[in-house]
């Protein structure tokens, strides 16, 4: 056991820094660091830069175009690139359906979809939740009926992040009504341009459009787009969800936001002195920073076990819970330090083209919206209550 | 000590409820926010008719001689209905200053108009949004002959967008540590005022104003020159107390919405309300709201008090707790609503956003706890309870 | 509504202070203020003083010798007497079985027991919990069989506070095995000197002896000692438990301990300066003090509703939860301010006769034990989890 | 970076487990506490035989050249079995000082004895129990000829009751702000030492000593005169790191006991483990313990580092978290055990009391967070991760 970085690891981190500094577009980095709104093209430009470098799929096997990094390298990349303002790539292709296709896809599916995920040609979105099936995902009702060489899909998905940007959707659908509700669920891949699919925006608490409803009316999906066996989609879904949880810890971004928080504490004042001289506030930052350090070490521990042993266990639920709690606390403390400056509601001020003045500090403008937006983190990807149920049952055996 | 409303107070509550149910709804609110005025003249007129606009002002000034408890009742109801009216800015802050400092003549001109709903006031005071607890005032008033020239800028003027007159605070003396602050009455139509209106995160409209050498006469001076600070502190405390009452009303509705959702929404074959973890979370929301209710009553009862330490202590306690509880209630409500709690579509969103505004206005939890603690030393021995300090000294 | 004390109330508080100053024995007061061990006689002397003044039973009706104070007067008495170091009186007679006998007792029971409770001649203890019945009190197994004019009691009670001091015990016993476990429970009064009763001490976490097991072997209890109807004991038990919860808020004692905490913060230092100059520590004290103020106002609100409307509702569960949480936090902060000084384990130092030195400050000696002891408060009188269940079901209707 | 134990480390763990299971139990412990020595010579000898007493000392000094990770393994096991041995005092603190500062001769005399389990050391340093973070040392050493005279008193000397020799810290210079501290080796049998042994709340025995003009020769000076402070800080950091490992072991057992209780105890017709609220509480205990494990590993990996900022930062983080988590774990364990959790009879009581001792030793949560924050500035830019500070500066 050795918790210090090796020389190779230090060298790699320098390599990452150099690459990011040179290839991350300056306007994208600035938007990320200042919490401005990103559009698809912003993310895409970074995606392509990484693709060209061969750094696009850290956790895919070599033969499918992955980098073959171990978990420490992945972590270094995460932290270093986030620190310099790299945007989060869309996770649905690279982090979710990609690994699923690697594990369960047919050769045709692999050769059709994986290269386009890597290149960024295809963006994906996720068709999991439904209005009646949130935490109880297995109770989903979207039906796919086999008709000749196609499935006909009817139903409604919701909370579909960036469906408005996606070329493809992977969907959990019900292909038969088994005795247990987990049975009869299948995973289908579906082109977003297929007739009968309609995307309706959902505006969230913060006034922004990020998630959508996706409606399916007699949507015809070729049968070869079924992943794995018909009716066995549930175990694939679980495989995918546990992958999602590891990434969701978000250590790199949280480290960046912590540095930003400390920066804000030098700019904003309490009682006439910089907030960083307020011991009560700094005690709270210290507590958060220590929790983040613990999370980071836990990520590395879990990830290294993963590398040696296979898929991440239910321990990954810890990362989901604590990772999202920390992300939320960061938004709270950032809001606290700017205080009243965050009151004005000026959504135009966090667009990129805004050149006007704001009543408070300009960087304060997006912080209330950011706080509200981040309430989602303890809900999505399996609520934190569901994660606790998972740990209770599968780790503690209660 | 009595914890029961008088018959008069109960009737007043009922009147408010009837008025607001009839004239206001979340749909009205959403339309208003998009409108130019961002508030409802109909509701304001209704409040005037009920007497609500004069309730917490002294009878000598032309008010109804009520105090904190009455103001609490009003604000709690405005909170429940998420009304946008500038009650705090016009009645509690600016109206309170006229009531406390005004000359007979100034009161006679301003209060009846205010009470009748015909003239709105606003208090233009804040300048530094980036320094909570920083007290520096940069707006100056300099005397030239018998005129005063006001220069500076004021930010986040609550109710400013619809006010007919501003009470403006300005520095009139500065000798080392000691700063003299004076209040001036300024017509909002004065063309030397540059105003910029914008919405807060809850949709209510505020104003930034620029005073580019605004000239006012001696009759515009409100109260004694250089001596305004204690009165500013007083109305700020009152406003803080009653905005906590508003928060209480908001939280009550949020809690109710959440209980309804828990009872209705099913997952895993049961209503969410059957899951013990969610039950206990709902209980913690409830306990927090009851605690806020206790301290809102306490603050309302002390906010009109002449003992400024007692007042500060009660008000800071209430705001510190309201902020903590408000955050918990909002966060749990969203969490218990799951994905639905994240949508702008549910009225929950409007209530959550208002609660967040209230949290950011009139002092953070940390700020108020510090203020509470520093008022502590002075107040302990005045309380009915004698502390056993002397005994400990022997240890 | 008026939250200010009236002139009469202020006068009454002065009267209480005068009386306590003159009649509370100095050695008792000192023990209480310094967290030393109290023996029965210490409490008894104060009991008798209050009895002689006619202030012994604040919430009993006049005709049974109560003071007839309203809830504000009771609160003033509670706070003023606690501040001056008055010990808590034994609650089992005055606060529990007394009100039960007033409400449910026969005239003979009332005239036999109530005067002796008032005078302090009889001390009571409570036979509720059993080894197998904690939170699920109604599952109790101690059996009482009717045999002629007596009941024969067999079984075991536990967590019986001060059974070693008690003359009498009130017991929940099973008199028949009904369909619902709540049915067939009866309330019996029993002399602790009856043959067949054995008291076995339980030493608690803090090394002290406060609670006991009480064993019953063929204990003969006269049938006239049954309170209310046979088999209807459960509703009496609930009546009694809700009374217990109001008193359990403990505002008076917590106010005293808060003042003590602030005193400790002037004596003990952090980084060479009095702890009271440490903003982080003081922020925590402020938070606690504000919570205590909220509790106090809630007690008064609930109690005044009670006075106007009858027995305390399930809202009293709030007082139990928050009251005990605050008591526990006070012991934690007291422990924090003395820090390492609380490490030496010197139980003799918190006896009264101790004249020796302690390695840390002498007043620090009992604070670790006190912290450990107070863990009980969120367990006894219905765990705080049970209280939350009660609120969920009976107040929120979930 | 590697998170897997080496084969050697795994074998060592197994050896420790076998030793402690064979020679120690909660009953042994309870008997020991009442005994004069308050620890077990058999266990100590067993640890010596396993090499545990020399593991974290450098090979040059006669140790086995291990470091924090090995010390962590040992202390975590001592925690799991609630062993009373003076490992921290003798090996980590005093042994560490000899290792870091001793002359060849001093090492040759002291280390082999220590490693063989034949001579125990203790570090007598603390004086002010009533001032956490206060650094004033009142014990003085004054030179007379080639002798040193030690005067003062030391409190709460861990392992002091069974030590054969003390390392005593004393002030040897004081010029205004600057204080020179020197270490001295003192025989415990010296009759000019007044010692008073007493138990801590967990039953372990400590010693207060009184140095009434104890005379020692120049060969007793350990390290350079006036220059001991950095080495004291170093071994204190190491001790803090490994006592967190002990706490981890203690918490693991507490959690296991609690899970067993939840599975066994029935109320309302179900095992307690079926109640969702209790399940989630158990999960929070578990998460806290896993976080402690992460920071214990981190601190152990840095505690032997030469970069004192990095060391302090890692150690303070671990202790702050350990204290917070330890309190949560103990409190929840008691609560989930209900009344049974309050009894002295259950072994849980012994574990809870030890955890409380650990919390009170080596710095509170508040103290450690402050220390963490003040070490922060220095360390950020040395880390492998470059902060994006410069970018923010442009905002």
DSSP track, C160-179: -TTGGG-SEEEEEEESS--S
Nearest to C263 among B262, B321, B389 (CB): B389
Residues 6+ apart with CB under 8 A from C39: none
CA distance C25 to chain B (A): 14
Strands (E), chain C: 124-127, 143-147, 150-157, 168-174, 185-191, 197-203, 209-222, 226-227, 269-270, 273-274
Please check whether residue C345 is in contact with residue D199, taking contact to mean a CB–CB distance below 8 angstroms.
yes
Report which of residues A2 and C185 the model is more confident about.
Answer: C185
Phi, psi dihedral angles at A145 (to 5 degrees)? -105, 130
Label residue D11 exposed, middle or buried (CB < 10 Å: 0-12, 13-18, 19+): exposed
* pLDDT band (50, 70, 90) for residue C146: very high
Residues 6+ apart with CB under 8 A from B191: none
* pLDDT band (50, 70, 90) for residue D379: very low
List, in order of start, the domains of chain D with CATH numbers: 7-119 (1.10.540.10), 124-226 (2.40.110.10), 230-379 (1.20.140.10)
Bridge pairing between strands B121-124 and B165-175: parallel
CA distance D125 to chain C (A): 14
Which 3-state string (H, E, C) describes B235-287?
A: HHHHHHHHHHHHHHHHHHHHHHHHHHHHHHCEECCEEHHHCHHHHHHHHHHHH
Residues in chain B within 8 Å Cβ distance of D276: 275-277
pLDDT tens by residue, D297-335: 999 999 999 899 999 999 999 999 999 999 999 999 999
* pLDDT band (50, 70, 90) for residue B390: very low
Please check whether residue B90 is in contact with residue B96, taking contact to mean a CB–CB distance below 8 angstroms.
no
Neighbour tally for A41: CB within 10 Å: 10
Closest CA in chain A for residue D303: A3
What is the pLDDT of chain A when averaged over all its residues?
Answer: 92
H helix and E strand count, chain A:
13, 10
Terminal CA-CA length for chain D: 35
DSSP B92: I
Would you call A283 and C278 a contact, using CB atoms and an 8 Å cutoff?
Answer: no
pLDDT tens by residue, A347-379: 877 776 666 666 767 788 899 999 999 999 999
Alpha carbon of residue C393 to chain centroid? 25
Residues 6+ apart with CB under 8 A from C213: C156, C157, C158, C160, C199, C200, C202
Closest CA in chain B for residue C18: B386
Query: In terms of Cα–Cα distance, which of B77, B81, B212, B218 is closest to B144?
Result: B218
CA dihedral B260, B266, B272, B274 (to 10 degrees): 110
Chain pair B-C, CB pairs under 8 angstroms = 155
pTM to 2 decimal places:
0.96
Q: Is the dihedral of CA C358, C361, C366, C368 positive or negative?
A: negative
CA distance A285 to chain B (A): 13
Report which of residues D136 and B92 the model is more confident about.
Answer: B92
* Chains with 3 or more CB pairs under 8 A to chain A: B, C, D
Asked if C273 has any chain A CB less than 8 Å from its own CB, the reply is: no
Closest CA in chain C for residue B263: C398
Bridge pairing between strands A168-174 and A273-274: unpaired
Q: What is the pLDDT of residue C39?
A: 94
Mean pLDDT, residues A255-263 taken together: 95
Asked if A280 has any chain C CB less than 8 Å from its own CB, the reply is: yes
Would you call C298 and B366 a contact, using CB atoms and an 8 Å cutoff?
Answer: no
What H or E segment, with its residue span, contains residue B174? strand B165-175
Residues in chain B within 8 Å Cβ distance of C298: 290-291, 294
d(CA B75, CA B10): 14
| Residue B226 backbone class (left: φ over 0; alpha: ψ -120 to 50; beta: rest) | left
Closest CA in chain B for residue A280: B366
What is the pLDDT of chain D when averaged over all its residues?
Answer: 92
Residues in chain A within 8 Å Cβ distance of C279: 278-280
CA distance A90 to chain D (A): 23
Mean pLDDT, residues D373-389 taken together: 52
Asked if C280 has any chain A CB less than 8 Å from its own CB, the reply is: yes
Closest CA in chain C for residue A278: C279
- Asked if residue A59 has pLDDT above 90, the reply is no
pLDDT tens by residue, C374-394: 999 999 988 999 999 999 999
pLDDT tens by residue, C5-56: 999 999 999 999 999 999 999 999 999 998 999 999 999 999 999 999 999 9
Q: What is the pLDDT of residue C356?
A: 64
CATH number (1.20.1260.10, 2.70.150.10, 1.20.140.10, 3.40.50.150) of A249-394 reads 1.20.140.10
Query: In terms of Cα–Cα distance, which of C288, C253, C268, C276 is closest to C364?
Result: C268
Phi, psi dihedral angles at D54 (to 5 degrees)? -110, -10
Nearest to A346 among B198, B267, B366 (CB): B198
Q: What is the pLDDT of residue D388?
A: 44
d(CA C22, CA C18): 6
Active-site residue numbers of C?
244
ipTM attached to this prediction: 0.95
Query: In terms of Cα–Cα distance, which of D138, D151, D100, D135 is closest to D306?
Result: D100
Cα distances from B325 to residues A88, B277, B321, B333, C254, in angstroms, run 33, 19, 6, 12, 22
Task: Report domain extents, chain C.
Answer: 7-89, 124-231, 249-394
pLDDT tens by residue, D77-90: 999 999 999 999 99
Pick the residue of B287, B332, B377 with the most C CBs within 10 A to test the interface with C by mutation.
Answer: B287
Query: In terms of Cα–Cα distance, which of B52, B98, B75 is closest to B299?
Result: B75
Asked if B277 has any chain D CB less than 8 Å from its own CB, the reply is: yes
Query: In terms of Cα–Cα distance, which of D208, D224, D38, D56 is closest to D128?
Result: D208
Please check whether residue D297 is in contact with residue A1, taking contact to mean a CB–CB distance below 8 angstroms.
yes
* Chains with 3 or more CB pairs under 8 A to chain B: A, C, D
Closest CA in chain B for residue D277: B277
Residues in chain D within 8 Å Cβ distance of A8: none
Chain pair B-D, CB pairs under 8 angstroms = 8
Nearest to A134 among B135, B267, B357 (CB): B267
Would you call A345 and B267 a contact, using CB atoms and an 8 Å cutoff?
Answer: no
- Asked if residue B38 has pLDDT above 70, the reply is yes
Nearest to C343 among D201, D349, D366 (CB): D201
The domain over range C124-231 is classified in CATH as 2.40.110.10: yes
CA distance D277 to chain B (A): 5
d(CA B164, CA B159): 10
CA distance D75 to chain A (A): 16
- Joined together, the tokens standing for residue C234 give 């459960």
Chain pair A-D, CB pairs under 8 angstroms = 156
Please check whether residue B160 is in contact with residue B122, taking contact to mean a CB–CB distance below 8 angstroms.
yes
Residues in chain D within 8 Å Cβ distance of C374: none
Which of A80, A130, A230, A244 is flagged as catalytic? A244
Phi, psi dihedral angles at B46 (to 5 degrees)? -60, -40
d(CA A159, CA A206): 15
- Asked if residue A246 has pLDDT above 70, the reply is no
pLDDT tens by residue, A285-340: 999 999 999 999 999 988 777 555 555 677 789 999 999 999 999 999 999 999 99
Tally of residues, chain A: 398
Closest CA in chain B for residue A341: B129
Q: Write B14-18 long-range contacts (CB < 8 A, 24+).
A: B15/B50, B16/B50, B16/B52, B16/B73, B16/B74, B16/B77, B17/B77
- Asked if residue B378 has pLDDT above 60, the reply is no
Neighbour tally for D262: CB within 10 Å: 22
CA distance A266 to chain D (A): 10
Please check whether residue B67 is in contact with residue B237, taking contact to mean a CB–CB distance below 8 angstroms.
no
Asked if D277 has any chain B CB less than 8 Å from its own CB, the reply is: yes
Pick the residue of D153, D360, D373 with the most C CBs within 10 A to test the interface with C by mutation.
Answer: D360
Terminal CA-CA length for chain C: 31
């Amino acid at each position: 056991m050795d918790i210090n970085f090796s020389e190779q690891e230090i060298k790699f981190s320098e390599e990452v820094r150099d690459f990011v500094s040179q290839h991350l577009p300056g306007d994208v980095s600035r938007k990320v660091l200042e919490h401005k709104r990103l559009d698809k093209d912003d993310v895409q430009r970074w995606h392509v830069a990484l693709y060209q470098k061969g750094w696009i799929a850290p956790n895919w096997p070599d033969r499918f175009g992955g980098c073959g990094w171990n978990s420490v390298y992945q972590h270094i990349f995460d932290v270093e690139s986030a620190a310099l303002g790299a945007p989060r790539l869309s996770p649905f292709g690279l982090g979710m359906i990609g690994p699923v296709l690697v594990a369960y896809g047919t050769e045709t599916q692999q050769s059709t979809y994986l290269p386009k995920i890597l290149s960024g040609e295809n963006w994906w979105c996720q068709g999991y939740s439904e209005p009646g099936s949130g935490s109880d995902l297995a109770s989903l009702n979207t039906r796919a009926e086999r008709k000749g060489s196609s499935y006909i899909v009817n139903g409604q998905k919701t909370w579909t992040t960036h469906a408005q940007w996606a070329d493809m959707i992977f969907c959990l659908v019900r292909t038969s009504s088994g005795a247990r509700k987990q049975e009869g669920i299948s995973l289908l891949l579906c082109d977003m341009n297929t007739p009968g699919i309609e995307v309706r925006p959902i505006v969230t608490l913060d006034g922004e459009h990020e998630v959508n409803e996706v409606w399916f009316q007699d949507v015809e999906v070729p049968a070869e787009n079924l992943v794995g066996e018909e009716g066995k989609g549930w175990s694939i879904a679980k495989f995918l969800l546990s992958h999602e949880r590891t990434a969701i810890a978000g250590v790199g971004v949280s480290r960046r936001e912590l540095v930003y928080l400390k920066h804000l504490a030098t700019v904003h004042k309490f009682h006439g002195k910089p907030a960083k001289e307020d011991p009560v506030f700094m005690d709270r930052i210290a507590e958060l920073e220590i929790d983040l350090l613990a999370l980071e070490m836990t990520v590395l521990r879990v990830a290294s076990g993963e590398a040696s042993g296979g898929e991440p266990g239910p321990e990954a639920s810890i990362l989901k819970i604590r990772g999202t709690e920390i992300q939320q606390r960061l938004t709270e403390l950032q809001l606290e330090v700017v205080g009243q400056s965050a009151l004005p509601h000026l959504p135009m001020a966090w667009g990129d083209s805004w050149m006007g003045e704001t009543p408070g500090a300009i960087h304060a403008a997006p912080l209330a919206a950011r706080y509200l937006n981040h309430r989602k983190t303890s809900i999505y990807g399996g609520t934190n209550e569901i994660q606790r149920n998972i740990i209770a049952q599968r780790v503690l055996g209660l | 000590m009595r914890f029961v409303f008088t018959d008069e107070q109960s009737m007043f509550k009922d009147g408010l409820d009837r008025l607001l149910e009839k004239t206001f709804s979340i749909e009205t609110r959403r339309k208003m926010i998009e409108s130019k005025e961002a508030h409802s003249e109909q509701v304001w007129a209704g409040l005037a008719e009920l007497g609500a606009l004069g309730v917490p002002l002294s009878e000598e000034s032309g008010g109804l001689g009520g105090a904190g408890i009455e103001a609490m009742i009003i604000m709690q109801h405005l909170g429940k209905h998420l009304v946008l009216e500038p009650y705090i800015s016009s009645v509690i802050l600016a109206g309170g200053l006229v009531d406390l400092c005004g000359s007979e003549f100034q009161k006679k001109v301003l209060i009846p108009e205010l009470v009748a709903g015909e003239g709105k006031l606003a208090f233009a005071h804040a300048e530094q949004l980036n320094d909570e607890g920083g007290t520096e005032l940069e707006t100056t008033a300099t005397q030239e002959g018998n005129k005063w020239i006001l220069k500076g800028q004021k930010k986040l003027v609550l109710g400013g967008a619809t006010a007919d007159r501003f009470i403006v605070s300005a520095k009139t003396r500065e000798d080392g540590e000691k700063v003299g602050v004076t209040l001036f009455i300024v017509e909002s139509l004065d063309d030397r005022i540059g105003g910029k209106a914008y919405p807060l995160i809850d949709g209510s409209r505020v104003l930034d104003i620029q005073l580019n050498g605004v000239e006012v006469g001696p009759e515009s001076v409100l109260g004694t020159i250089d001596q305004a600070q204690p009165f500013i502190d007083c109305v700020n405390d009152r406003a803080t107390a009653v905005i906590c009452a508003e928060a209480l009303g908001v939280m009550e509705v949020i809690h109710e919405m959440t209980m309804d959702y828990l009872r209705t929404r099913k997952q895993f074959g049961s209503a969410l309300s059957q899951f013990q973890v969610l039950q206990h979370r709902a209980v913690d929301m409830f306990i927090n709201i009851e605690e806020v209710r206790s301290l809102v009553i306490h603050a309302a009862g002390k906010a009109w008090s002449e003992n400024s330490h007692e007042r500060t202590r009660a008000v800071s306690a209430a705001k510190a707790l309201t902020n903590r509880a408000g955050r918990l209630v909002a966060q749990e409500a969203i969490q218990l609503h799951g994905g639905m709690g994240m949508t702008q579509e549910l009225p929950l969103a409007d209530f959550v956003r208002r609660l967040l505004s209230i949290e950011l206005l009139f002092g953070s939890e940390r700020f108020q706890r510090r203020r509470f603690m520093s008022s502590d030393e002075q107040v302990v021995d005045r309380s009915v309870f004698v502390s056993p300090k002397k005994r400990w000294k022997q240890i």
